[in-house]
Amino acid sequence: MIARAFALLWICLATAAGAQGFAGLGTDADGFALPSADSALTFPADHGAHPDFRIEWWYLTANLRGDDGQDYGVQWTLFRSALSPEAGSGWQTPQIWMGHAAVTSASTHRFAQKLARGGIGQAGVTTAPFDAFIDDWQMRSTAAEGDPLDALTLSARGVDFAYALSLQAQGPLVLQGDQGYSVKSPTGEASYYYSQPFYDVTGTLTLPEGDVTVTGQAWLDREWSSQPLANDQQGWDWLSLHFDDGSKLMGFGLRSSTGAHFTSATWITPTGQTTAYGDGALTLDPLETVEVEGRKVPVRWRVTLPERDLKIDTEPLNPQSWMGTMFPYWEGPIRFSGTHSGKGYLEMTGYE
Amino acid sequence: MNAVAFQALWSHWRRHKVQLATLVLGLALATALWSGVQAINAEARKSYDRAAGVLGQDQLDRLEAPGGVTLSQYIALRRAGWDISPVVEGRLSGDDLRLLGVDPLSAPPQPALTALAGDSAALATFLGDGFLLVAPETAARLQGSDLPPRRIAADVPPGTAITDIGTALRLLRTDRLSHLLIRRQQAMGLTPLDQITDLKRVTPTDQSSLAQLTDSFHLNLTAFGLLSFAVGLFIVQSAIGLAFEQRRAAFRTLRALGISLRRLMALLAVELGVIALVSGAAGILLGYIIAAALLPGVAGTLRGLYGAEVTGTLSFDPLWALSALGIALLGAAAAGAQALWRVARMPLLAPAQPRAWAMASGRMIRMQTGAAIALLLLSGLLALWGDSLMAGFACLAALLIGAALALPVLLLVLLRLAGRFTRGPLSEWLVADARQQVPALSLALMALLLALAANVGVGTMVGSFRATFVGWLDQRLASELYITTRTPAEAEAIRTYLTPRTDAVLPIWSVAITLRGAPAQVYGVADDPTYRDHWPLLQAQPDAWDRLAQGDGVLINEQMARRDELSLGDPLTLSEGWQLPVVGVYSDYGNPQAQLIAGTDALATHYPDQLVLRFAVRADAAQVPALITDLTACFDLPDDALRNQAEIKALSLDIFDQTFLVSGALNVLTLGVAGFAMLTSLLTLSSLRLPQVAPVWALGVAPRQIALAELARTALLATLTWALAVPVGLALAWVLLAVVNVQAFGWRLPMQLFPGGWLWLGLWALVAALLASAWPVWRLVTLPGGQLLRVFANDR
Amino acid sequence: MLSARDLTKSFSTSEGPLQVLRGISVDVTSGESVALTGESGSGKSTLLHLLGCLDAPDSGTITLKGTALQDLDEAGRAMVRRSRVSVIFQQLNLIPSLTVAQNLDFQARLAGVLDRDWQHELADRLGLTPLLARYPEQLSGGQQQRVAIGRSLAIRPELVLADEPTGNLDEATADTVLDLLIEGTARSGSALLMVTHSPRLAARLDRTLHLQDGLVQ
């Protein structure tokens, strides 16, 4: 997943040198490691944290259907942000963690946020066994063999919701961009980026109305970098799509201050074969804007990828899927139809 | 028509500028003192709220453990999903700073941290290298300190620094958290706290809040403010009354010219309102100046008495100004009501001749006397059976008002007695005339009585307090040297070093506990003659010290004994499973909280983790300076680590004197206002007194002699008022010491008398009265003879 | 006994100085009673005030049994008022805070010439004995003036000056008071100079001086 929610922490934690760019992401990295196109990713080591990079996340979204016949969306995210490129320990550790969780239905959007610093055991990611946690929120591996991310349990809760899901991967890990090196601007800013888009999900949502048993699909993104946005980029619109035939599409557009979209896309076959598409192959056009929390947000999009004969219109499950967290953004489940149909997730940032 | 009529009415003031000035100044003074005190109270309350509002400590439940909370206990609860936030609190004695360490990532929203919210770089530094958030005045005080860098945050209480918890733990050299704040809103479906932790959940009680503690002090200030306001209103009332009397002719004419009574009243009310607004504005300015001047003293008082930090600078609150204007209007209305009422009842054809309005009738005096007797009786009943702070103040109010109302009749009686001893026609006339002036001057004299009585009363209370306090300090500060160390290791090293070189090294250590829902401090005391011989016990069982040493008993302070109604032998539960009988009660002035003394061994058994960092050292007083030099050299101790007895005594007395600075200042102000009330009353009278003085003059008494007689008369009245004020003041002091103090602070002080002070006060009263009468007398006797002769003119 | 020569007196008013007396000369011999008449503003009261040492003339001389009054300072004039000349006004003669008895004694005690027998006789003759404990405000106008007469005569003054002493009284009372005044001055051997509007009253005295425009006619 591209650059999503990138700077949520940045806004409050990074040393913002300039006012350009969404959340000050356009600053130069200092002292932090930079992604390079030549270094290959290694697993399971790269499932863990990379404290020498400025920012990193474990980002999971799920499209679910309940036994009550309703559609639901679930989000679970753990962000890591470093004040300086060292792991540290104790209270003075420079690693700050943030968790976001949400449950979306057609009529409600419930979310929660957690903040913690590393070094004291309140939040972090371990690799053996794989366990990403902040307070009582957890993404833990249950895989007996193979990659640790093949099987996970996932839990989180807020004031008015809780969920416990188990996830089983039906396909391989997918490296985005060039073998996991994902370029984010014409001037070459980039990140490391891989995904596991093939989860089948079962589990329970606990809501004020009662428990709901759910099943569905989920998509996990892993990404880390030190300088993911160019100075003139203001926000992004990002999509993860599950086609009914089992194919997947990841696509994003980074909006620059000149109004142009820098787009990128990855087509994923049901067996995990990928085709990457560079800037301009994918087009994103807003169809309808609604007012969300006092601002205009384009919640319906026309997405085209001519090279795949793709032309679809997206429809949000709940147009008010607003994450009113410390740094707010729109994140919610969608349906789409047109040349292809299916479900997915949409994220939009930088709409002030 | 209104404008014309208003102009006619207003012309009076143009011709009587002094009268107008009196009225405006009186109302301004009254407003100023009242609203000044209000401003001080508001500023102090704001400081308390700031202190309490930090971290929502005033509202949120907390988890605590004796000896502090460990990191793993905190993390375990977080991992169980509980939204809690750690706090570490401590004192940096070197910098006299209260340090509050918080975790901004989990802390409840709070004004003090808003400085970080919008500033990512600031938050990063806060979490990283660390800095202290402090109030501006604290920053100024800490200039040059080697603490982490400071940043200004206006919402931090003075004397406190807020910093990241990591920084705080480092500065305080501890790894224990003081407590965990529990957010109100928690995630759904959590396991109950009592099933997953041993930590104790404590709900903050209002009992312990500063606002509660300091209530009595602010009530005191308010009472003073009210007194000044009342005294100020005396001035206003006399000025308004005179002006209305002098304008009777004008009223009659206006009404004869067709202005209805209703319209006339309305015009007069408007006129009064305009004057009140102008005076109120002046009062606001004056009140602000007074408050700003007094506030540092008040801050000192509150720090000395309660350890409450109050900012020393005053902010301007428009709402306060508005309420001050309101009180000015209210005061003018109260003072003018009688005059307006008289106008309303004035028949259209009433004689226009100004009557000596102030010459109250005998009936009035009889009514006042009746009311006085009733009030004094009520005051006595309240003193005997009242059982609250409010009852104490009601008792004071009844006493003062009763005494004031009784003043005229008492003065008349005294003057009648004095009349028996006069020889010579002039002195006879002097006393006789004084008697006739009593009703006219009674309001001003009442004001003087109140001011003098308050002076005697407060003076006696403070003096008694101070004398007791000095004696108590002498007893209690028996050790020659007091040492504060920084670490347990240093403490141990110094103790080892000192033991062979001194008579005794006594640990000073205490544990904060919660007793019957209120905070209390338990001190561990070693078995040593220092305590046996010197500690001032109010009541004790014969073997109190032995039982203390054996761990079979506990001493409690007087305020705790009174508050919880404990007496000797009563069992007291200090913590779970630790119950001891009370074997003694000791006096503990200046401490608002409950305090206990237990044997040091017994306390150490129940609280093994407590650090002992302070010591009292018994040694030959002559050797102490050398000892200090040696210690400083051997252990590289900071300046404030060592305090000898004399220093602490001086410091304590300094704080004590600070404490009552404000009372003193308000006393002087009240006396000043009373003097001004005298002046205005005498000025008013001087124009009415021509008929009294003219015949005496005509009969061959020289103006100089008349002037002397006039001065002597005022002096006589002031002296007699003072003589009556002394017993009233003593009664006031008794109520303060035996009723109000016990209710407010929990200690009772023996009353001591300071006759020297009364004499000085008498002198001041005399000076004030003579100053007040100087101008009116001057005006009277420098009148051209023709003016006096005109009194006798045939065709008036 | 009393000899005033060429007295002038002017007062400053808002319209400039007002010449009230323009060189008046008056003589009164011992025991004589003289009425002083004239229209309002003719200077009667001013003349009386000058003779009574209540005010000083701008020029001219006043000699009372050899004492030159015009040269005295305020203290000297007070001394004369106290012990040699008594003044009775139309009203407000009495000290309101003192009783009748005290008022009667007051001047004599000030002058140090209190004579108890004379005092009793005066109170008796003036019909004041039952009123001695009262205060002035409790007396009628006639009673007040009788107290004033008693007080004035208590020092046996050389001269009694009366400024319309019965002006506030009804005719019957006025006659009684005047009788008492004439009789009293005669008994104490004092001369009497009385300002009056009433020719009827003036006629009862030894002679009459008429003032007009600040001069004796």
Per-residue pLDDT at B360: 46
B78 pLDDT tier (thresholds 50, 70, 90): very high
Tell me which of B355, B378, B401 is where a domain ends: B355
ipTM value for the complex: 0.90
Per-residue DSSP letter, A136: T
Per-residue pLDDT at A6: 36
- Pair B296, B333 in one domain: yes
Give residue-wise pLDDT tens across range A92-107. 888 999 999 999 999 9
Give residue-wise pLDDT tens across range B435-479. 888 877 777 788 788 888 888 887 887 788 778 778 777 777 778
Lowest mean pLDDT among A260-274, A293-307, B693-707: B693-707
- Chain B interface, mutation test: which of C95, C106, C166, most B Cβ atoms within 10 Å? C95
SS3 A287: strand
Per-residue pLDDT at A15: 34
Per-residue pLDDT at B117: 66
Question: Considering the domain boundaries, does residue B599 fall inside one?
Answer: yes
Q: Would the pLDDT of A5 be above 50?
A: no
**Are C167 and B791 in contact (CB < 8 Å)?**
no
Gap between the Cα atoms of C139 and B400, Å rounded? 40
Question: Considering the domain boundaries, does residue B718 fall inside one?
Answer: yes
Distances (CA, A) of A89 to A51, A93, A94, A120, A122: 12, 5, 8, 7, 12
Which residues share a beta bridge with B598?
B524
Q: Would the pLDDT of C98 be above 80?
A: yes
Nearest CA in chain B to C94: B695
Half-sphere exposure of B294 (CA within 13 A, CB side): 32
Question: Considering the domain boundaries, does residue A110 fall inside one?
Answer: yes
Per-residue pLDDT at B210: 55
A199 pLDDT tier (thresholds 50, 70, 90): very high
Give residue-wise pLDDT tens across range B571-628. 888 887 888 899 999 887 766 678 888 888 888 888 877 777 788 888 888 888 888 8
Per-residue pLDDT at A203: 96
Q: Would the pLDDT of C117 be above 50?
A: yes
Question: Considering the domain boundaries, does residue A294 fall inside one?
Answer: yes
- Pair B422, B554 in one domain: no
Question: Considering the domain boundaries, does residue B628 fall inside one?
Answer: no
Which residue among A11, A115, A120 sits closest to B75, beta carbon to beta carbon? A120
Question: Considering the domain boundaries, does residue B682 fall inside one?
Answer: yes
Strand segments (E) across A209-351: 210-225, 233-243, 248-256, 261-268, 274-277, 283-292, 295-305, 310-316, 322-323, 329-338, 342-348
Q: Would the pLDDT of A283 be above 90?
A: yes
Angle (nearest 5°) at CA B530 between B529 and B531: 90
Tell me the one-letter amino acid at B426.
Answer: L
Q: Which two tokens stand for residue B739?
A: 């009723």
Gap between the Cα atoms of B536 and B586, Å rounded? 6
Question: Considering the domain boundaries, does residue B627 fall inside one?
Answer: no
- List the subunits that have 3+ CB pairs under 8 angstroms with B: A, C
User: What residues of chain B lie within 8 A of the CB of C164, using their CB?
Assistant: 794
> Between B349 and B421, whose confidence is greater?
B421
- φ and ψ of B688, to 5 deg: -85, -10
Question: Considering the domain boundaries, does residue B633 fall inside one?
Answer: no
DSSP β-ladder status, C159-163 and C85-88 = parallel
- The domain of B141 spans 60-203
State the average pLDDT over residues A251-269: 87
Q: Would the pLDDT of A130 be above 90?
A: yes
Tell me which of B355, B385, B403 is where a domain ends: B355
Question: Considering the domain boundaries, does residue A121 fall inside one?
Answer: yes
Gap between the Cα atoms of A262 and A240, Å rounded? 17
Helices (H) and strands (E) in chain B, counts: 28, 18
Lowest mean pLDDT among B136-150, B227-241, B399-413, B458-472: B227-241
Give residue-wise pLDDT tens across range B325-356. 888 888 888 878 877 887 777 665 544 443 44
Contact B324, B37 (CB under 8 A): no
Per-residue DSSP letter, B15: H
Per-residue pLDDT at A19: 30
- φ and ψ of B683, to 5 deg: -60, -45
Q: Would the pLDDT of A44 be above 70?
A: yes
State the average pLDDT over residues C38-46: 83
Give residue-wise pLDDT tens across range B302-327. 665 556 666 667 777 788 888 888 88
Per-residue pLDDT at B55: 46
> Between B711 and B648, whose confidence is greater?
B711
User: Is domain C30-56+74-206 classified as CATH 2.60.40.420?
Assistant: no
Per-residue pLDDT at B354: 39
- Chain B interface, mutation test: which of C13, C80, C92, most B Cβ atoms within 10 Å? C92
Which residues share a beta bridge with A248?
A242, A268
State the average pLDDT over residues B55-79: 81
Question: Considering the domain boundaries, does residue A253 fall inside one?
Answer: yes
- Pair B279, B348 in one domain: yes
Question: Considering the domain boundaries, does residue A2 fall inside one?
Answer: no
Angle (nearest 5°) at CA B94 between B93 and B95: 90
**Are B189 and A92 in contact (CB < 8 Å)?**
no
User: What residues of chain A lie within 8 A of the CB of B117, using their CB?
Assistant: 12
| CATH number of the domain within which A92 lies | 2.40.370.10
Per-residue DSSP letter, A178: B
Per-residue pLDDT at B136: 82
- What's the structural domain count of chain B? 4
Give residue-wise pLDDT tens across range A141-188. 999 888 999 999 999 999 999 999 999 999 999 999 888 988 877 777
Gap between the Cα atoms of B120 and B189, Å rounded? 34
A270 pLDDT tier (thresholds 50, 70, 90): very high
Per-residue pLDDT at A3: 31
Interface residues of B toward A, Cβ cutoff 8 Å, are: 71-72, 75, 78-81, 103, 105-106, 117, 120-121, 123-124, 127-128, 164-166, 169-170, 185-189
**Are B792 and C111 in contact (CB < 8 Å)?**
no
Per-residue pLDDT at B5: 77
A236 pLDDT tier (thresholds 50, 70, 90): confident
Per-residue pLDDT at B728: 92
- Pair B432, B489 in one domain: no
Specify the long-range contacts of residues B108-116, CB closer than 8 Å, at least 24 apart. Answer: B108/B55, B108/B56, B108/B60, B108/B181, B108/B183, B110/B53, B110/B54, B110/B55, B110/B56, B110/B155, B111/B50, B111/B53, B111/B155, B112/B54, B112/B153, B112/B155, B112/B156, B112/B162, B113/B153, B113/B162, B114/B153, B114/B155, B115/B151, B115/B153
- Pair B449, B503 in one domain: no
Per-residue pLDDT at B301: 66
> Between B71 and B501, whose confidence is greater?
B71
B687 pLDDT tier (thresholds 50, 70, 90): low
Domain ranges across chain C: 30-56+74-206
Q: Would the pLDDT of A336 be above 90?
A: yes
Which among B510, B526, B653, B511 is positioned nearest to B589, based on CA atoms? B653
Q: Would the pLDDT of B795 be above 50?
A: no
Considering chain B, what is the average pLDDT of its residues? 80
The DSSP-derived string for B30-64 is HHHHHHHHHHHHHHHHHHHHHHHHGGGTTTS-EEE
Per-residue DSSP letter, B354: P
Which residue among B81, B106, B120 sits closest to A157, beta carbon to beta carbon? B81
Per-residue pLDDT at B507: 83
- Pair B588, B719 in one domain: no
- The domain of A255 spans 53-348
Gap between the Cα atoms of C95 and B698, Å rounded? 11
Gap between the Cα atoms of A330 and A73, Å rounded? 13
Q: Would the pLDDT of A9 be above 90?
A: no
Give residue-wise pLDDT tens across range B188-238. 889 998 889 888 887 765 434 555 556 656 766 676 677 667 767 766 777
> Between C71 and B512, whose confidence is greater?
C71
Per-residue pLDDT at B434: 87
C189 pLDDT tier (thresholds 50, 70, 90): confident
Per-residue DSSP letter, A341: -
Gap between the Cα atoms of A217 and A73, Å rounded? 10
Question: Considering the domain boundaries, does residue A36 fall inside one?
Answer: no
Tell me which of B142, B170, B203 is where a domain ends: B203
Contact B287, B34 (CB under 8 A): yes
Question: Considering the domain boundaries, does residue A236 fall inside one?
Answer: yes
Gap between the Cα atoms of A16 and A13, Å rounded? 8
